[in-house]
Each structure stands twice: as structure tokens, then as C-alpha cells.
């Protein structure tokens, strides 16, 4: 078995040696899925995983735009159309200076498994740009988004590829992107998700990733007859996912102690309550400020510059910022402090070594492709409402989201339970996600 996995990874490394994040994501899947393939004749010898690690299509393009000083700026735009076996390509757009092929291929690869887990008919894709929205004016953001869409529009469509938000792409950017798509195509379709409530967006989509992550963690805690009530919770990030994860934790009776951004973290020993969270939302989403400004409003809290929040003692940790933000040392600190549950809101926030430490300690650990799938699942619900030209209520969408997270949890139990009863949610999510895509690929032949 070990040899099978090594031989596969050697081949993938030969082709993608310069893409560390992509290789990291592939390695994690290969280690759990190859043993399953070898045991099941219908998949064995069909090179399904080898086909899955090669994107169906990679689009890379130039994005030229003019900044407020009248200078011409040039950025790179991408869309990775990874796998369309079970539905049109679906996945977010990331605008961040670190965006490159490795980051987007890892995200697109993860998205294929995640979307499969949602049970909705969505293939996987991801895109974005090395454009940095930080410090840009609204007009600069608009000009960039319009320029980006003036090329991307040829490659997407409501039945082909449906982008959405991710880091650096929120409701403001989605508006500008949609506006240019509509103008160029002269049609109003649900080609992007995360739209505003008055023009085709779904209720609960802004909340969905963060809420979904907490619903998933709740399901994991229930297996131990436990809950969020009275728990100390640390959250990283202070963007879309972190904000709504924090909101749901507070609603369920947990105490949120931290939030962060790329400059450091804030620690509020009294807990970040709903009023303080409203302050953070205004600070981040409207004023576009830094998390350090929290301590100006709440001076009893502390700002710890240049660090991540994992050193704070907690029961539950929700990493909701970015990839590889939690390493082995952080994992050991969390474990030594008595942490019982880690549920990933971000994509691949824990390093491989950190996950090994969590598994060794046999705590509850959920990989992002399972626990953050509520965002894309609700995007799927937005697509359905757009096709039906209909709008479900907040409660209807929230109930569907809860059901989907509960179903994903069940799938993880089905495929992830070890002989000693410990649930390896990484293995469970990878195999459950794989099976559905593999069946579709087998049925459709060599294409």
C-alpha cells in the first residue's frame, strides 16, 4: 500500500514539483483514498485519482486597469476548471497578493471533494488574482473587477462555471463582477453566487460558511454528548467566515475569546459578545480597518502583534483565516491547553503535521472540505433559487444548511470510522467526496 501511494505521489511531484500547496492537498487525499481504491475493484486500475489531479482546463490571463493616480497596473487573473463530472465548475475567486497557480490548484482540488460532499450537483473550480484589494479605493476595486470580468466572462456561465467569493472577494466585489458580466452578455442569470439580496442573492449565504462550520462542530460534539454551551472558543481571522462563526458560537452559548488578521490577534478575556462583534463587522466590512483597532473601543482587551491566537487556552479552536496558519507547534500548544475540538472554517489551515498531532491525541478534528462546505452548499441553494426564479425565507435556507451539514457529518462517520471507533474525519470526507465523483467519471468514460 505504502508503495502505491509513494509511486502515485512521485508522479504528481514530477509534474507539479513547484506547487507545494497543491502537493500538500493531493498528498492528504492520496493517503486516505488510495487504500480505499485498492480495496474496491470498480475503482482499481482506472487511474481515477490521476485524472482528478489534472485540471480539466486552466485559464490564465492579463488584467490591465488604471489606478486613481492614472497609472496603468497589470495583474494576473486565473480560473482553474478542475472537475465537471458531477456538475458545472463551482468555486470562489480569491484576490490576494499570494495568489498563484499552486494556491489556486490546491483550492480547486479541495473544492471538487467539498462540492461532492454537499450532495448538490456541483463540480469544482477556483480562480482569482494576485491583485491586493487592501488600501484600494472603491473606484479602483470597481475598475479592477470590471477589467477582470472583461476576460473571465468568456469562460463562465450559469451552466458552465459559477464563481463566488473567497479571501478578498466579498459582496462589494461580487457586485462589480456581476455588473460587468451582465453588461457583456446582455443577460441576467445566476452566473455568480453571493449576490446582493435585491438582485438574486440568497438569504443566509453571507452567514453560511461560518454558521455551517459551527453546525458541523456541533454535530461532532454531539457524538461525545457535548455542546458549545459554556465553552471557551478561539477563532482566527476576522473576515466573512470568522465573523459568522463567532456569531453562531455566541448564539449557542460559547465564549469567543479571539479574532485575528494578518497583523496579529486580539484577546478579549471577557468574551466578544454580539455588540462587540457588531463593532468588528462595521470595522472590517464598512470601514475596512484593522483588527488592532478593537482595543481602542474595548481597552481591557489585548492586541498581540504578529502572532496567531493558538497560544490562548481554549476548549474549541476554529481556524478561519488562511492555509497553513496552524502548525505542529500550535497544535501541541492547543492540545496541552486541553483543546477538545478543532473545526476548520478556512481551507487547509492546519499543516499535515498539525493534523497528525490532532489524530494522535484523538480529539475531534474536522477538515475544511467537510466543515466549511456550508458556504458553497448555500451557493448551490442560491443557484437553485435563481433557476426557479424564486426566493426561500431565511429560516428555509438555514434549515437546509443545517440538514446539509448534518448529512456531511453522517458521510464522514460512514467512511471515516476507525476500528477502535475513533472518527477520522479527514479520511471520511476524502473517501465520501471521492466516491461520488469517481462513479460519475466511470459512467462517463475516458473524457
The answer to whether 307 is annotated as binding is no
Contact 334, 365 (CB under 8 A): no
* Annotated catalytic residue 134: no
- Closest to ligand 2IT by CB, 48 vs 376, is 376
- Phi, psi for residue 119 in degrees, rounded to 5: 75, 0
The answer to whether 17 is annotated as binding is no
434 contacts: CB under 8 Å, gap ≥ 6 = 29, 33, 36, 48, 49, 52, 113, 116
Closest-approach residue to ligand 2IT (CB) = 92
Angle between helices 2-16 and 20-39 (to 10 degrees): 150
- Closest to ligand NDP by CB, 81 vs 118, is 118
Give the three-state DSSP class for 275: helix
- Spatial separation of the C-alpha atoms in residues 304 and 257, rounded to whole Å: 13
- Residue 167 binds which entry of ligand NDP, ligand 2IT, none, with Cβ cut-offs from 5 to 8 Å by kind? ligand NDP
The answer to whether 114 is annotated as binding is yes
- The secondary structure of 319-382 as a DSSP string is --S-TT-B-HHHHHHHHHTT--EEE--SSS-B-HHHHHHHHHHT-EEE-HHHHTHHHHHHHHHH
- Closest distance to ligand 2IT from the beta carbon of 81 (Å): 13
The answer to whether 240 is annotated as binding is yes
- Residue 193 binds which entry of ligand NDP, ligand 2IT, none, with Cβ cut-offs from 5 to 8 Å by kind? ligand 2IT
- Spatial separation of the C-alpha atoms in residues 107 and 145, rounded to whole Å: 21
- Closest to ligand 2IT by CB, 324 vs 337, is 324
- Closest distance to ligand NDP from the beta carbon of 209 (Å): 4
- Residue 326 binds which entry of ligand 2IT, ligand NDP, none, with Cβ cut-offs from 5 to 8 Å by kind? none
- Closest to ligand NDP by CB, 34 vs 346, is 346
**Which residues in this chain contact ligand NDP in the complex, by CB under 6 A?**
165-168, 170, 209, 237-242, 261-263, 320-322, 325, 345-347, 372, 375
The answer to whether 379 is annotated as binding is yes
- Closest distance to ligand 2IT from the beta carbon of 347 (Å): 5
- Closest to ligand 2IT by CB, 212 vs 416, is 212
The C-alpha cell at 163 is: 464563481
- Closest distance to ligand 2IT from the beta carbon of 86 (Å): 14
- Spatial separation of the C-alpha atoms in residues 34 and 194, rounded to whole Å: 35
Angle between helices 205-222 and 373-388 (to 10 degrees): 130
- Residue 200 binds which entry of ligand NDP, ligand 2IT, none, with Cβ cut-offs from 5 to 8 Å by kind? none
Q: Which of 2, 39, 126, 305 is flagged as catalytic?
A: 126
- Closest distance to ligand 2IT from the beta carbon of 112 (Å): 11
- Closest distance to ligand NDP from the beta carbon of 323 (Å): 6
The answer to whether 400 is annotated as binding is no
Closest-approach residue to ligand NDP (CB) = 239
The C-alpha cell at 238 is: 476576522
C-alpha distances in angstroms, 8 versus 11, 51, 176, 369? 5, 12, 42, 22
- Residue 241 binds which entry of ligand NDP, ligand 2IT, none, with Cβ cut-offs from 5 to 8 Å by kind? ligand NDP
- Residue 385 binds which entry of ligand NDP, ligand 2IT, none, with Cβ cut-offs from 5 to 8 Å by kind? none
- Residue 90 binds which entry of ligand 2IT, ligand NDP, none, with Cβ cut-offs from 5 to 8 Å by kind? ligand 2IT
**Which residues in this chain contact ligand 2IT in the complex, by CB under 6 A?**
90-92, 111, 114, 164, 166, 193, 347, 375-376, 379
C-alpha distances in angstroms, 205 versus 219, 371, 416? 21, 15, 28
Contact 261, 305 (CB under 8 A): no
- Spatial separation of the C-alpha atoms in residues 145 and 124, rounded to whole Å: 22
Rg of the Cα trace of the chain? 21
The answer to whether 90 is annotated as binding is yes
- Closest to ligand NDP by CB, 171 vs 384, is 171
Residues known to be catalytic: 126
Residues that constitute the known binding site: 90, 111, 114, 165, 209, 240, 379
Amino acid at each position: 500500500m505504502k508503495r502505491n501511494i509513494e509511486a502515485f505521489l512521485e508522479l504528481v511531484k514530477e509534474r507539479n514539483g513547484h506547487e507545494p500547496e497543491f502537493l500538500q492537498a493531493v498528498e492528504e487525499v492520496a493517503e486516505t483514498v488510495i487504500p480505499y481504491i485498492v480495496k474496491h475493484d470498480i475503482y482499481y486500475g482506472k487511474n481515477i485519482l490521476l485524472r482528478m489531479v489534472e485540471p480539466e482546463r486552466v485559464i490564465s490571463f492579463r488584467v490591465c486597469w488604471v489606478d486613481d493616480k492614472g497609472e496603468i497596473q497589470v495583474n494576473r487573473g486565473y480560473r482553474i476548471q478542475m472537475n465537471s463530472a458531477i456538475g458545472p465548475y463551482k468555486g470562489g475567486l480569491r484576490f490576494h497578493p499570494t495568489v498563484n497557480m499552486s494556491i489556486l490548484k490546491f483550492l480547486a482540488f479541495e473544492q471538487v471533494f467539498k462540492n461532492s460532499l454537499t450532495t448538490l450537483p456541483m463540480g469544482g473550480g477556483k480562480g482569482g488574482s494576485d491583485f491586493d484589494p487592501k488600501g484600494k479605493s472603491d473606484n479602483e476595486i470597481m475598475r479592477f473587477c470590471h477589467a477582470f470580468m472583461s476576460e473571465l466572462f468568456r469562460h463562465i456561465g450559469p451552466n458552465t462555471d459559477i464563481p463566488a467569493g473567497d479571501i478578498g472577494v466579498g459582496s462589494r466585489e461580487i457586485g462589480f463582477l456581476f455588473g460587468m458580466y451582465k453588461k457583456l452578455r446582455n443577460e441576467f442569470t445566476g452566473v455568480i453566487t453571493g449576490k446582493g439580496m435585491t438582485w438574486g442573492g440568497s438569504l443566509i449565504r453571507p452567514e453560511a460558511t461560518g454558521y455551517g462550520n459551527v453546525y458541523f462542530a456541533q454535530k461532532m460534539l454531539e457524538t461525545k454528548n457535548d455542546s458549545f454551551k459554556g465553552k471557551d472558543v478561539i477563532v482566527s481571522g476576522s473576515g466573512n467566515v470568522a465573523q459568522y462563526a463567532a456569531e453562531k458560537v455566541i448564539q449557542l452559548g460559547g465564549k469567543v475569546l479571539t479574532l485575528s488578521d494578518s497583523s496579529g490577534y486580539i484577546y478579549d478575556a471577557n468574551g466578544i459578545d454580539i455588540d462587540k462583534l457588531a463593532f468588528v463587522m462595521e470595522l472590517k466590512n464598512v470601514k475596512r480597518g484593522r483588527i488592532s483597532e478593537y482595543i481602542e473601543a474595548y481597552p481591557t482587551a489585548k492586541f498581540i502583534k504578529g502572532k496567531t491566537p493558538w497560544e490562548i487556552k481554549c476548549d474549541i479552536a476554529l481556524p478561519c483565516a488562511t492555509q497553513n496558519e496552524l502548525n505542529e507547534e500550535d497544535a501541541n500548544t492547543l492540545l496541552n491547553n486541553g483543546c477538545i475540538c478543532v473545526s476548520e472554517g478556512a481551507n487547509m489551515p492546519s499543516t499535515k503535521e498539525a493534523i497528525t498531532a490532532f489524530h494522535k491525541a484523538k480529539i475531534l478534528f474536522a477538515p475544511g472540505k467537510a466543515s466549511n462546505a456550508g458556504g458553497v452548499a448555500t451557493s448551490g441553494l442560491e443557484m437553485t433559487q435563481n433557476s426557479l426564479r424564486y426566493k426561500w425565507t431565511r429560516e428555509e435556507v438555514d434549515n437546509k444548511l443545517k440538514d446539509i451539514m448534518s448529512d456531511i457529518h453522517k458521510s464522514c462517520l460512514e467512511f471515516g470510522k476507525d476500528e477502535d471507533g475513533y472518527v477520522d474525519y479527514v479520511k471520511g470526507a476524502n473517501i465520501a467526496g471521492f466516491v461520488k465523483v469517481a462513479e460519475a467519471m466511470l459512467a462517463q468514460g475516458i473524457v
